[in-house]
Structure 1
Amino acid sequence: MVNINTLDPGASPLDYYGFELRRCREAADLTQRQLGEIVNYTGSLIGQIETARKVPTLEFSERVDAALGTGGLLSRLVQLVLRSQLPAWFRETAELEARALEICTFQMGMVHGLVQTEAYARSVLGVLDEAKVDDRTAARMARQRIFQKSNPPVFWMVLSEAALYQEIGGPEVMRGQLAHLLSFEAQPRTNVQILPFSAGAHAGLTGSFNVYRFSSDPTIVYTEGYGSGHPTANWDTVQDCSLRYDHLQAAALSLKDSAELIRRVMEDRYGVQVA
């Protein structure tokens, strides 16, 4: 157990957050229990966060900021905390996501993390590793805040039809995930196209990949293996994957037809009738 009296704020973003939370709470002359009652969390949870044993959420941070009048300090710090919970090999890519003007992704077997529901993400992240799955899920969901920026990136996802049938987390989780994909229909900056089984052999058979485009920096292609990520600005790779993505979009269903297919799968496989 971490002793709060010896907590080193420079040890990690989580330690720094805990140090600042305690400092702000004590400045307000509140006990952990009293603060918990104000923000509707247990005093025990506040104690765990202050001792760097529990990762805070954005919602927790916003409530405490409001209660203590911190000027948004904890809400800013929590972004660093959640980023630090990502795998070390993925953190550079998370930075690319946050800066990109356009993100194009082709996904073979599952929905991309930026448009996953919390339940779907937890099911994906919990495979073979249940350790700190709540914290890792919170970190994944925090990445989606890039869509709340004043100028969010344009996001295009070409998703294999197979991913609609791969029952990740069970029928209820899949119903929620497919409904979430349909929620983007009226959002022109977030687009979902389905690559149908009828497309046959296609340009993405070698695997999933992302293309990140920026206002002035070189375009980056990102591929992923087991426990490793591979971003590259190599011109030949970027040109090859950009061409592949163009062909995948051409082979995919239109946005309207993709939404209709998602609705049919929800009805036929998961028992939900969607208007």
Structure 2
Amino acid sequence: MVNIRNLDPSASPLDYYGSELRRLREDAGLTQGQLGDIIFCAGSLVGQIETARKVPTRAFSERADAALVTGGVFSRLVGLVLRSQLPTWFQAYAEMEAKAAYISTFQAQVVYGLLQTEAYARDLLGVDHPDQVDELVAARLERQRILQREHPPALWVVLAEAVLHQEVGGREVMRDQLAHLLTFLDNSWVQVQVLPFAVGRHTGMIGSFNLLRSEDDPDLFYEEGYSQGHMTANPAVIRERSVGYARLQATALSLEDSARLIGHVMEERYGDQPKPDGRGVA
């Protein structure tokens, strides 16, 4: 049954996207089912997106653009739609992250969002938001697109060694996640260091934090709390945390030694494990 729920296009980016999809589909003389056949999805999915009950993916948007000959309308809109799915308190940070020329981050517990695999992100986000996991994962993957730009930001990541051992999503997911980190070894724009357990106490023990630098905006410091994040451009805070970050970089393993440790943990902790009879299992 065709859903004819009326939308207020000004209510949200998702409502605007849905109303435009309906308008352009009807202008093309297609039913929801016919458009679904063309773009390889169920007509019910088209209906859910048109009524703002389902969040579109980038792949859906690109196929809809091609089918309806929109000139890229939905591919341009989907970024705004996905960003609107982020927690309200996080949206300001995501906007500044997208504009940053330099991103420095220390992560004490999890892999930084821009370097997470889809499976890792899905398991992580599903802990507190099981009913929104599809939308949140899509939004996180959309954030990662800044690393695919012609001129991406320079990203420096320092991970506490505990991140490598904190199992998220099971052994296979963790193995793939660590393998993904290793793919950045030859990427001149992404640097990954590991802060080993042997360091002992360090300035990052206050918790994870990010530093953003852009060409036109003030430098920013960002840290997450239990319920929301905190962002500031206070010069004194920026100075203190910048010095702290430099100390973390100096204390962490080199890029090459970090990659070796990641590879070692990947194989030893998450690789094939022998059965009692000595045969390996995946």
Structure 2 length normalisation: TM-score? 0.94
User: Partner letter of residue 241 of structure 1?
Assistant: R
CA distance in 1, matches of 2:145, 2:119: 17
User: Partner letter of residue 126 of structure 1?
Assistant: G
Say if 2:53 is the partner of 1:53. Answer: yes
CA contact 1:175–1:272 (8 Å) conserved in 2: no
CA contact 2:193–2:249 (8 Å) conserved in 1: yes
Q: Who is 2:95 aligned against? A: 95
Q: Who is 1:17 aligned against? A: 17
User: Partner letter of residue 16 of structure 1?
Assistant: Y
Structure 2 counterpart SS, 1:253: coil
User: Partner letter of residue 257 of structure 1?
Assistant: D
Which stretches of structure 1, 4 residues or longer, exceed 4 Å deviation after superposition?
A: none
CA contact 1:195–1:248 (8 Å) conserved in 2: yes
By how many angstroms is 1:3 displaced? 6.1
CA contact 2:3–2:47 (8 Å) conserved in 1: no
User: Partner letter of residue 96 of structure 1?
Assistant: M
Residue correspondence of structure 1 range 1-275 to structure 2 within 5 A: 4-271=4-271
Structure 2 counterpart SS, 1:269: helix
Structure 2 counterpart SS, 1:216: coil
1:105-161 Cα shifts (integer Å, max 9, x gaps): 000010011111111111111113312111111111111111122211000100001
Q: CA RMSD in A?
A: 1.4
By how many angstroms is 1:6 displaced? 2.1
By how many angstroms is 1:217 displaced? 2.0
Structure 2 counterpart SS, 1:6: coil
CA contact 1:266–1:272 (8 Å) conserved in 2: no
Q: Which runs of 5+ in 2 are unaligned?
A: 274-282
CA contact 2:155–2:189 (8 Å) conserved in 1: yes
Structure 2 counterpart SS, 1:78: helix
Structure 1 counterpart SS, 2:201: coil
By how many angstroms is 1:4 displaced? 3.5
CA contact 1:104–1:157 (8 Å) conserved in 2: yes
By how many angstroms is 1:14 displaced? 0.5
User: Partner letter of residue 66 of structure 1?
Assistant: A
User: Partner letter of residue 207 of structure 1?
Assistant: G
CA distance in 2, matches of 1:144, 1:253: 25
1:204-244 Cα shifts (integer Å, max 9, x gaps): 11111000001132210001101211110111110110000
Q: Who is 2:277 aligned against? A: none
Percent of residue pairs bearing the same amino acid type: 61
By how many angstroms is 1:165 displaced? 0.5
Deviation larger for 142-151 or 37-46? 142-151
CA distance in 2, matches of 1:226, 1:122: 19
CA distance in 1, matches of 2:132, 2:216: 38
User: Partner letter of residue 159 of structure 1?
Assistant: L
Closer, same or farther: CA 272–239 of 1 in aligned 2, 3 Å: farther
User: Partner letter of residue 76 of structure 1?
Assistant: R
CA distance in 1, matches of 2:36, 2:224: 41
By how many angstroms is 1:5 displaced? 4.9
Structure 2 counterpart SS, 1:137: helix
User: Partner letter of residue 32 of structure 2?
Assistant: Q
Q: Who is 2:279 aligned against? A: none
